[in-house]
Chains A and B, each alone.
Chain A
Amino acid sequence: MNETAHADPVVELLVQTFPDIDFAPAPLLAKPGGKDEQVYVRVPADRLVEVMRFLRRDERCSFEQLCDVTCVDYLNFPKARDRYGVIYSLLSLSKNRRLWVKCFVNDPKPEAPSVTCIWRGANWLEREVWDMFGVRFSGHPDLRRILTWEGFEAHPLRKDYPLRGKGERENFERITRESA
């Protein structure tokens, strides 16, 4: 556990409020000097909504905005133990503070709870993560693919998906003037 990360007041508050969760706070990038540090905490999937609701509603945290939801496929990442890390980037406008929350999920059924009930803006962002990484969000009101088409099987931002695709482009049904 990094000392500077632990000194973050929000992280301290989280550790006090949820003593049973191991948040393992750490800076996103371990840098000498420790200036302008971006801190993340780990939250298990089954406690995510509870913790997020606290971060959003509690006056000492007040993360009013969900800045971004993304995912990283840590397939061959150095020292990574879990496969998918869903990364929530929270922003408090009133306190001008940021916090990153990572929720790790694994194959064969990667699934995290949806936070659309806390921030409505999570809707498309979670759909994009589902589309690109195949991480399902339980409780999402409308979990359809967003950037690729319905019926597309793969999840292209996974590390085991090749850059040039698996022949989707070549095998895509072509409509000619005669067949139309």
Chain B
Amino acid sequence: MMSAVPAEIANHGATYAPEEPGGDVWVLNLGPQHPATHTTLRHVLELDGERVLSCTVHIGYLHSGFEKLGEHLNYNQYVVVTERMNYISPMANNITWHHACEKLFGLDLTPRCKAIRTIIAELARIQDHLLCVGAAGLDLGGYTAFIYPFNARETIYDLLEEISGARFHNSYTRVGGLMNDITPEWPAKVKRFVTAELPQALEDLEKLLTRNRIFIERTKGIGYLSHDDAIDWGWTGPLARASGVRRDLRKDEPYLCYADNWDGQGSSGVAFKVPISTGCDSYARYLIRLAEMRQAVEIILQLVDNIPAGPVDVLPEGKVTLPEKNEVYFSIEGLIHHFEQIMTNRGHRPPVGECYGATETANGEQGFFIASDGGNTPYRARCRPPSFINYQCFPELVVGHQVSDVIAVLSGLNIIAAELDR
């Protein structure tokens, strides 16, 4: 087992000198369609035997102009596009987008909406980490570790379907609220999931991988990135925390129920720990994700039994969201409100200016920088995509390793190409 990182890997430059100068250098094209890249990425690897001498990354295969689309859709419509970025945890994108929008509009959510959004954000984190950890097993030959967590993910899809009507792309949030309230049975179902089903799934996963000799040997010491380098390259989220960076937006810039006094009655924010590792390698990234799922369960358990009563929408004076259909059909005010929202030259107008809102999603800090010229669509809707920023130091991570380690590093990073290219 490789316990420490060899000096030549820890202190590598951009390339790695071949063992035999003047020897044959192979060029291997990995991707864009390859089972181990999971999505559409392409790496051109220069190989000396099995060693990687250099790696060039080509991205952009899934670029579909999401940011341009954002300039032509209004603040409620664009949520449909955001969740196609990180489709492994779609709801997290919805929450981030509207978190940024509400900063722009200057809205404060109702306590009930905050609690529901926090529960969903944590479910999305579990959803994302389960797939990432499972895929890490899959790429290293452990197919079981990929299939087992899918039972739990399936239940999360069921839970999200119950409240939003859609399994995959939920579009559940709205500016200042939610599409609709949760069903009365939903909290009990979430509780059953996090107390009965998920712990079992995590235990299975842990038994399959954590002390699995093949898994450890393939991931320990692989893809090493030190604390300072991780900060310099802009890493956030579980990847940064696996390199010992103490940073979690839920603690450092608290929002939703992570902030104190979230219900306006002096409640303290939800209690949880931020797992940090100094392993700096793929194995540490796996352990951090596992620990984060356990903390997510803690957070959900604190909230699920006492979701505050009351409305889920703030419905401010300017009326940002569409009214209930009942009001549209049976009251003239509702009808006027509905038309004002639908007509392109009407609607709720934000102030002129810019703002940045970010949340801690499963991949790291996802944020939106919105520039508004006072119209009913954003002037610019920039997404800070964690995958894009986490991925750019990939050549640094793999140069000097073997070809098979490229796969182990890639699956530890959890790169979602739709978010990478947008």
CB atoms of A64 and B231 under 8 A apart: yes
Report the nearest A residue to B228, measured CB to CB.
A64
CB neighbours of A125 from chain B (8 A): 389
Confirm or deny: B75 has a beta carbon within 8 angstroms of a beta carbon on chain A: no
Contact status of A146 and B233, CB under 8 A, knowing A93-B247, A163-B72? no
Interface residues as binary, A118-162 with B (CB distance below 8 Å gives 1, 0 otherwise): 011101110010001000000000000111110000001100010
Task: Give Cα A146–Cα B245 distance, bound, in whole angstroms.
Answer: 28
The range of chain A's interface size is 35 or more
CB atoms of B233 and A147 under 8 A apart: no
CB atoms of B231 and A28 under 8 A apart: no
Tell me how far the C-beta of A156 lies from the nearest C-beta in chain B, rounded to whole angstroms: 6
CB neighbours of B232 from chain A (8 A): 64-65, 119-121
CB atoms of A148 and B354 under 8 A apart: no
CB atoms of A156 and B68 under 8 A apart: yes
CB atoms of B353 and A66 under 8 A apart: no
Task: Give Cα A99–Cα B362 distance, bound, in whole angstroms.
Answer: 24
Task: Give Cα A87–Cα B371 distance, bound, in whole angstroms.
Answer: 11
Tell me how far the C-beta of A168 lies from the nearest C-beta in chain B, rounded to whole angstroms: 11
Within 8 A of B (CB), among A159-176: 161, 163
Interface residues as binary, B342-374 with A (CB distance below 8 Å gives 1, 0 otherwise): 000000000111111000000001010101011
CB neighbours of A119 from chain B (8 A): 232, 234
Confirm or deny: B388 has a beta carbon within 8 angstroms of a beta carbon on chain A: yes
CB atoms of B373 and A78 under 8 A apart: yes
Which of A29, A65, A147 is in CB contact (< 8 Å) with B60?
A: A147
Which of B60, B71, B72, B245 is in CB contact (< 8 Å) with A148?
A: B60
CB neighbours of A66 from chain B (8 A): 234
CB neighbours of B218 from chain A (8 A): none
CB neighbours of A96 from chain B (8 A): 252-253
CB atoms of B365 and A67 under 8 A apart: yes
CB atoms of B351 and A30 under 8 A apart: yes
CB atoms of A28 and B354 under 8 A apart: yes
CB neighbours of A76 from chain B (8 A): 373
Tell me how far the C-beta of B344 lies from the nearest C-beta in chain A, rounded to whole angstroms: 14
Report the nearest A residue to B372, measured CB to CB.
A29
Interface residues of chain A, those whose CB is within 8 Å of chain B, are 27-31, 36, 38, 64-68, 70, 72-73, 76-78, 87, 89, 93, 96, 98, 100, 119-121, 123-125, 128, 132, 145-149, 156-157, 161, 163
Q: Can you offer 23 A-B residue contacts whose CB atoms are under 8 A?
A: A27-B353, A28-B353, A28-B354, A29-B103, A67-B367, A67-B384, A70-B382, A70-B384, A72-B371, A89-B384, A93-B247, A119-B232, A119-B234, A121-B233, A121-B234, A123-B392, A124-B389, A124-B392, A128-B388, A132-B67, A156-B68, A157-B380, A161-B68
Q: What are the 7 A-B residue pairs with the smallest beta carbon separation, nearest first?
A: A121-B234, A29-B353, A147-B60, A124-B392, A147-B63, A28-B354, A70-B382
